[in-house]
Amino acid sequence: MLVKLKKFVKLFKILLLFIFLSFSFLLKVSEPTGSYFRGQADSLDSQFSSGCWLAPTVPALISPANNSFTNTNSFIFDWSDSTTSCPLVSQINYQIEIYSDPGLGALVSGASSLAESKMVSPQTTDGDYYWRVRACDDFGNCSDWSPVDKFTIDTVDPNSEIKDLPSLSTSPNFTINYLAGDDNLDYVNLCYSWNLTAWVCPPELQDRSHSPGSFSFNSPRGDGNYYFATIAHDLAGNTEAKDLSANPLTILFFPSIVYDFRTSVLVHKPIVV
Ligand SMILES: [Ca+2]
Ligand SMILES: [Ca+2]
């Protein structure tokens, strides 16, 4: 009987010690790193489980950059890797949302449980888009959403045309007007060929006043036949396709003054080279 009593007391002490250890393990522990974790012990079957309640860091959006333009609908969304201060986390996943309005009311596309901090873009149409990302750990703790970035898909080439170009000018300085069309027009370049020599599109003849716009041309090669064309560029990097050599828009005669012996007067005459 005494032996049984001693065994019972011994078992009771072990049970008390186990309960004490279990209770201590349930307490929240603060690590020097600032991380928090918890554990739970089941004293009946000795099964232990543990987890984290501190969310991963908020991802930083990388690409496409905020307010950027792209001329393809096939690109990579990229954001920074999130980190966690909880050593028990084995996997951080990411969730992405893409909207067509700044108020985030019209969800265009989204994905979750992304193991990598990047994603191939969905095949969306041209337009303005707004996107954000958040990170979640395998305990279900999610970070706040990242700040929202905007990007624009524009796959359409811009267009432009010269308007009302005079056929003849007796002054080396004149104005060339143009019209251009595009949702995201950047600039229009005036290109010219002098007497059908190689076409040039000088940077000083780039205009951002948009449609309608104009160029001030000063006949840099002197007298001759000038051929003109405009090439439009948009903010997404699209360039107006125009075969300059095959499509001269207008021949502008900039005449020299010669003396006509038959009539004894000064007359204007185009230079022929
Ligand atoms: Ca990344
Ligand atoms: Ca465009």
What is the mean pLDDT of the segment spanning 29-40? 44
Same domain, 67 and 141: yes
Q: State the pLDDT confidence band at 273, using cuts at 50, 70 and 90.
A: very low
Q: Is residue 44 part of a domain?
A: no
Q: Is residue 68 part of a domain?
A: yes
Overall number of domains in the chain:
2
Distance of CA 83 from the midpoint of ligand 1 (Å) = 12
Q: What is the pLDDT of residue 29?
A: 39
Q: Is residue 18 part of a domain?
A: no
Distance of CA 100 from the midpoint of ligand 1 (Å) = 23
Q: Is residue 245 part of a domain?
A: yes
Name the residues around ion ligand 2, CB cutoff 5 A: 154, 156, 182, 234, 238
Ligand nearest to the CA of 71: 2
What is the full DSSP assignment across the chain?
Answer: -HHHHHHHHHHHHHHHHHHHHHHHHTS-EE-TTS-EEEEEEETTTTEEEEEE-SPPPPPPEEESPTTEEES-S--EEEEPPP--S-TT---EEEEEEEESSTTS-SEEEEEEEESSSEEEPP-PPSEEEEEEEEEEETTS-BPPPPPPEEEEE--SPPEEEEES--SB-SSS-EEEEEEEE-TTEEEEEEEEEETT---B--GGGEE-S-SSEEEEE--TT-SEEEEEEEEEEETTS-B----TTT----EEEEPEEEEETTTTEEEEE----
Ligand nearest to the CA of 183: 2
Single-letter amino acid, residue 244: L
Same domain, 84 and 110: yes
Single-letter amino acid, residue 271: I
Q: 121: closest CA among 105, 132, 110, 107?
A: 110
Distance of CA 53 from the midpoint of ligand 1 (Å) = 24
| pTM value surpassing 0.75 | no
Q: Among residues 134, 153, 172, which one ends one of the domains?
A: 153
Same domain, 127 and 164: no
Q: Is residue 46 part of a domain?
A: no
Same domain, 253 and 233: yes
Q: Among residues 153, 179, 196, which one ends one of the domains?
A: 153
Question: pLDDT digit string (tens) for 151-180?
Answer: 999 999 999 999 988 777 878 888 999 999
Q: What are φ and ψ of residue 21, in 5° steps? A: -65, -40
Distance of CA 241 from the midpoint of ligand 1 (Å) = 35
What is the mean pLDDT of the segment spanning 223-228? 86
Q: What is the pLDDT of residue 16?
A: 47
Distance of CA 115 from the midpoint of ligand 1 (Å) = 10
Residue 266 has pLDDT above 80, yes or no: no
Same domain, 202 and 119: no
**How far is 113 from 93, CA to CA, in rounded Å?**
5
Q: Is residue 8 part of a domain?
A: no
Q: Among residues 153, 184, 208, which one ends one of the domains?
A: 153
What domain range is 90 assigned to? Answer: 61-153
Q: pLDDT over 90 for what percent of the chain?
A: 53
Distance of CA 183 from the midpoint of ligand 2 (Å) = 6
What tokens appear for 91 in the block? Answer: 């996997």
**CA–CA distances in Å: residue 235 to residues 78, 97, 106:** 21, 24, 25
Single-letter amino acid, residue 264: S
What is the mean pLDDT of the segment spanning 63-89? 95
Same domain, 165 and 221: yes
| CATH code (residue 190) | 2.60.40.10
Q: What is the pLDDT of residue 255?
A: 57
Same domain, 173 and 222: yes
Q: Is residue 25 part of a domain?
A: no
Residue 249 has pLDDT above 50, yes or no: yes
Same domain, 165 and 142: no
